[in-house]
Structure 1
């Protein structure tokens, strides 16, 4: 991630850095709680920094990887269905947004938003912007991610698989960076594991070495489809997303067997609700098991944590396995048999992450065998 300062609280620190470099390096300013590129600008003079307004000031990546001499970024779609345990899915397609003016490193060009910003909402207003209606074509100022991979592979001989893995690494670390606060808020406010998920739009830029840089993470990314290209990416993505998260119908009322037997249709209406599925309370035995395994090394919990599954363990694992039957074009990137390498970056040990690590390690290649434990 580029060096970033949150103003006004980091203004003194930024000022000291600025004095060392003078007005020779560009910075990008982003206002909070905004969208569609509103308020974003690239600057190189201290007088252009707001005095007291809350903004993000970020080191501008001035050596972007170019295609047709033009800057571009990626919009990746990332679905998180659970924060504890952590479950992350990455859609296999996305959008590639190009600037509409050829790139220049001259400081005199920094005010040209059509050159230095890649937001579609900005560049569609440019007289040089070219629409691309074909999801498979390398033309215009918006491509699909799959089209980009094909271009990089065939035209530039880039190792696209390696590039994809680097993006996965970036995404996992990005999510982990906010895992602590999200876990705390989720624990305090969610009544069920089934009533919360989030689709994020993660924007990434490649530099000249094809190193991926995180630009920003968008909540509620636009699902508006302004062209057949947009529709080709977003429509199947939303379809798969809804299948993964499922549609649960919790009910706060209790019905006696006599009430349900009076009307067969009535019983069918509430057939999918079972209060045991939604409970988050733990028995004393379950609490003791969780506390016990939090103190164990990976070698020890891999050996023993699956030996005596509790009802709570089973509920988590069933929900997870249900999700995996509906992935469509989403790829599971966490948990996997190798994702335990990222657990060291978490704020502290999480029992459910240990449970899922053990599950993936043992049953990744023969999931049906694992399901017999249920």
Structure 2
């Protein structure tokens, strides 16, 4: 069970957590810490973890111990060191003095809170570059077209989601004159000063787009954000021009002058998105978040920071004074809706829960005339008459999800390339050979007066400290319960928190063997399909021999994708893994092949690993809503288009470098350095087929645990493979 949290556990060793933040010291000598540990620590302690994840700031002694372990992680090529850490929380590699986790050779049974290439979204400058690249390659146009086609198909076929209004854009590439295809459909026009200033017509670009611009540097808590007039940028003698010259990586972003207001105040949305893999893309959005309010009345011509910046840290001091004054500027409809929904209007409170805000907006702004629908400027349908406020809120929430998924899909080429290159540097060729990834991002969005949803930025390592005042903050503005629930669901989905049915089964001699999750049956199914009866006997002989050695059997692992790496096999499971991995590289390596692609390819070890992880996430997702993989027709078509674009880009790059004339196909393809990579389209299609198999297989609903039982997993496996002979649960147990 190579991907199970319990696969390396023994009766004498509890689960262990490593907080690598304790190894980092800032320039002023203080320890760096993520404020989420105030919530994470007690959760991990209750789950039985040991280690240094249970307080925000460590002692000097603990700092030294953690530093030595981090250094050992960077020096090892085996990944499995003593003391072995089951889950690792670490700052990202670009943080000052942070260790580079990309050099750590981790085992598949470990977990780490980072994912390859996330800086292409969480870094302000790289986010602009990523979306510009998606625009230049035509990917964003393709994604928008796929979304429009899917929504039209849904309406035509009478799907259960037909209440989602279809945009009026035609699908032949023509749009209304005031529409802009590209990043500005969901991301304000943005430029990096170093690049923009080199273009010949940069002054015309700024003048023709907006009269006011936001200057944003790579800082947090609202620092480094300025609102300036375009004339100040154009004036080479101004202080603004001098600041841009001193910081050429500054992002210049169009200022959206007409935001939607509540009680005369500007607000933004803070949502949370979780990604666990780039290839295939597995990404989630949490259904609850926050609306964050500015504290000064909005004036598009004001330079007062607390009127246009909604960051909680910037507004907290003024918000407390506003609570004492009790001043609220709102109309009668807003006051009535607030009383009905038991809400306190801003600025008396600094935040609302996302669900409350959506219902409030729908109640206040619902259209009064019948048979009318209002469309936002970027094609989002936000008003439909005859619907109650909660139905209206659902439509707006879908528009929010669409923008979040568009952002992830736009970055798929960069994320998948970073994953492949990072794993290749470690001598690996698939995510299944490395630790389970999970990374949490804060997503900041804005809704304008036309009900367009705009992406503002994405933040890595978001602040998760509770910001409510006990006994003072009204229930509608409290955040601690939402953040705690979201973090618990995160640990559960990432399989960091052991399941109740897992653990150690003791024998009479005091030893122990792990009780594994139902997904463990997939490895047995793969092994049986790959080796055949005769080879299973040889693997069992190797297993028996390995049990006699406490130090484990060393071997050269040749993975199912052609990868080669040094591992130390401990116990029967890894010995059998070595045998099955060797067998799976032969020309006749399996008895049944994937139905996907026309029964041409055998299941690979790495593919089984990704299906294993996806199944655990599906079963343990809690309140996380899957954007990919998803049963939603629009979502999956967008991701499939992004995966195809990724393959085309990879093929073009490979041909330019070494592989001229190579073709991209919907199955495993030969790539650089003699390592076999699977195309993004293949990986994504295989995951989609796996999800569909659960709902197409009627027998799954008959099992006691539904889609997540061993019997259902076996039924899904049989449905995915060609051939008529199906393996039953009783046969597998024998």
Q: Same fold (TM over 0.5)?
A: yes
C-alpha separation between the residues in 2 aligned to 1:80 and 1:35?
Answer: 22
Q: 2:188 & 2:206 partners in 1: Cα distance?
A: 19
TM-score (norm 1): 0.80
Q: Residues of 1 paired with 2:412 and 2:440: CA distance?
A: 15
Distance in structure 2 (CA, Å) of the matches to 1:161 and 1:74 = 16
Secondary structure of the corresponding residue to residue 124 of structure 1: helix
2:617 to 311, 320, 323: 323
Correspondence 1:152-163 to 2 at 5 A: 152-157=361-366, 159-163=392-396
Contact 1:30 1:39 in 2 (8 A): yes
Seen in structure 2, the aligned counterparts of structure 1 residues 315 and 179 have a Cα distance that, compared at 3 Å, is same
Residue segments in structure 1 that go unaligned for 5+ positions in a row:
250-259, 290-299
SS of match in other structure, 1:126: helix
Q: CA deviation at 1:286?
A: 7.0
Partner Cα separation in structure 2 for residue 70 and residue 181 of structure 1: 37
Name the CA distance, whole Å, in 2 between partners of 1:103 and 1:241.
Answer: 36
The reply on whether 1:28 has 2:214 as its aligned counterpart is yes
Taking the aligned partners of 1:280 and 1:358, their CA distance within structure 2 comes to 27
Cα distance per residue 1:63-84 (max 9 Å; x no partner): 1011111100001100001111
Quote the residue 2:715 is aligned against.
372
Whether the 8 Å contact between 2:628 and 2:636 is mirrored in structure 1 is no
Report if the CA contact (8 A) 1:91-1:329 is conserved. Answer: yes
Indicate conservation of the 8 Å contact 1:240/1:329, yes or no.
yes
* 1:1-374 equivalent positions in 2, closer than 5 A: 1-13=187-199, 15-17=202-204, 20-21=207-208, 25-32=211-218, 34-44=219-229, 45-46=232-233, 47=238, 48-49=240-241, 50-53=244-247, 54-106=249-301, 109=302, 111-126=303-318, 128-130=321-323, 137-139=343-345, 140-157=349-366, 159-190=392-423, 192-227=433-468, 229-247=478-496, 264-265=510-511, 267-268=512-513, 281-283=559-561, 304=598, 309-337=603-631, 338=633, 339-342=635-638, 343-346=640-643, 347-348=646-647, 349-350=679-680, 351-364=682-695, 368=707, 369=712, 371-374=714-717
Change in 2 beyond 3 A, CA 1:3/1:323: same
Partner Cα separation in structure 1 for residue 516 and residue 267 of structure 2: 46
Structure 1: how far apart are the matches of 2:604 and 2:560?
A: 10
For the 8 Å contact 2:561–2:605, the answer to whether it is kept is: no
Instruction: Name which of structure 1's ranges 363-372 and 210-219 shifts more when overlaid on structure 2.
Output: 363-372
Please state how far the C-alpha of 1:141 moved relative to its aligned partner. 2.1
- Inter-partner Cα distance in structure 2 for 1:86 and 1:15: 36
Counterpart secondary structure, 1:340: helix
Q: Is residue 400–residue 453 contact of structure 2 (8 Å, CA) maintained in 1?
A: yes
| Partner SS for 2:406 | helix
Query: What TM-score comes out, normalization by structure 2 length?
Result: 0.43
Distance 1:115 1:214 in 2: 19
**DSSP-derived class of the 1:213 partner:** strand
Change (3 A) 1:19 1:27: closer
Residue-by-residue CA offset, 1:223-244 (whole Å, 9 max, x unaligned): 1112161202200000000000
| Partner SS state of residue 282, structure 2 | strand
Shift of 1:205: 0.2
- The one-character-per-residue Cα deviations of 1:17-41 (angstroms, maximum 9, x if unpaired) are 356449x711001102x11101111
Q: Secondary structure at the match of 1:202?
A: strand
RMSD of aligned Cα (Å): 3.5
Bigger radius of gyration, 1 or 2?
2
CA contact (8 A) 2:275 2:284 kept: yes
- CA shift, 1:326, in A, is 1.5
Moved more, 306-315 or 223-232: 306-315
Question: In the alignment, is the contact (CA less than 8 A) between 1:82 and 1:193 conserved in 2?
Answer: no
Q: Which has the higher contact order (CA 8 A, sep 6+)?
A: 1
Unaligned stretches of 5+ residues in structure 2? 1-186, 327-340, 367-382, 384-391, 471-477, 499-505, 525-556, 563-582, 588-593, 648-678, 701-706, 718-734
Change (3 A) 1:138 1:314: farther
Q: Taking structure 1 as reference, are residues 64 and 355 closer, same or farther at Cα in structure 2, changes over 3 Å only?
A: same
Q: CA shift at 1:327, angstroms?
A: 1.6
| 1:96 CA drift (Å) | 0.7
Whether the 8 Å contact between 1:99 and 1:116 is mirrored in structure 2 is yes
Deviates more, 1:335-344 or 1:363-372: 363-372
SS for the counterpart of 1:359 is helix
Q: Determine the C-alpha separation between the residues in 1 that align with 2:600 and 2:714.
A: 12
Q: Which residue does 1:255 correspond to in 2?
A: none
Distance 1:328 1:340, change over 3 A: closer
CA gap 1:18/1:189 in 2 versus in 1, 3 angstroms: closer
- Does the 8 Å CA contact 1:305/1:358 hold for their aligned counterparts? no
User: Does the C-alpha gap of structure 1 residues 281 and 176 become closer, same or farther in structure 2, counting only changes over 3 Å?
Assistant: farther
Alpha-carbon spacing, 1:2–1:19, altered in 2? closer, same or farther (3 Å): closer
- Separation of aligned partners in 2, 1:280 and 1:76: 42
Give the superposition deviation at 1:309.
4.5
Alpha-carbon distance, 1:261 to partner: 9.4
Kindly state the Cα deviation for residue 90 of structure 1 after the two structures are TM-superposed: 0.7
Of 215-224 and 120-129, the range deviating more from structure 2 = 120-129
Structure 1 pair 81/36, CA: closer, same or farther in 2 (3 Å)?
same
1:314 deviates by 2.9
CA contact (8 A) 2:289 2:482 kept: yes
